Amino acid sequence: MSLSGKIAVVTGGSRGIGRAICQRLAALGATVIVNYVSNPAAAEETVASIQNAGGKAEAVQFNVATSEEIEAAFKKILDAHGRVDILVNNAGITRDGLLMKMKDEQWDEVLNTNLKGVFLCTKAVSRGMMKQRWGRIINITSVIGFAGNAGQANYAAAKAGIVGFTKSVAKELASRGITVNGVAPGYIVTDMTKDLSEEVTNTIKNEIPMGVLGEAEDIAGAVAYLASDDARYVTGQFIHVNGGMFM
């Protein structure tokens, strides 16, 4: 697979799964725009790791939940590079709590970042992709969006919403040479999971047929495939990367 000459934007690309995706796309030849919100040091670490490996990357700050910031950021990207070929909607947050105790703010924050952000960023790149008649949009959902999880009604709703959004946009853009797909990670070793107790981690492992948590690179591999010409006839689909936890 080669992504030489392609311009890729990865939201939430400064660490964890996002960082692994940035590194994999860059290793395949893409110029990667690493989006971040509040941690410029982490974003620059990602950029440096790519550049040190001989790749091309730069960091761009914007909040995916804010349309004005997205408009300004994508104008900057287009002015500098002329196009966006690949968009990976990876940015996400959690604000966990049981439904009866969940505050409006917890619901709104998660839906705005995890779902509205996908809508806004996809909208921002779609016109240019339609004109060039080539594009790859890859949305990171979650096993929780398919299976649900107590204490994560907001997160599950947002991630399930991405599923319907992906299928709808895939149908809208297919005739223009644009594919829209998703990757649904299971439990992956990231900053979100590293603080789980040993007891909770073992409980999760017992629910996974393969018996281990995944690595960020496992998700990056699925994204790389969907971004490549090898997946040119794949659209509206989801790759579940979860060790068999959800089938």
Catalytic sites, residue numbers:
155
- Could you count the other beta carbons within 10 Å of the beta carbon of residue 63? 20
Q: Where are the beta strands (DSSP E) in 16-165?
A: 31-36, 56-61, 86-89, 135-140
Q: Helix, strand, or coil here: 239?
A: strand
Instruction: Identify whether the C-beta of residue 58 lies closer than 8 Å to the C-beta of residue 47.
Output: yes
Whole-number Å distance between alpha carbons of 145 and 148? 6
Angle between helices 216-227 and 16-27 (to 10 degrees): 50
β partners of residue 139: 89, 182
CA 206 to chain centre: 27
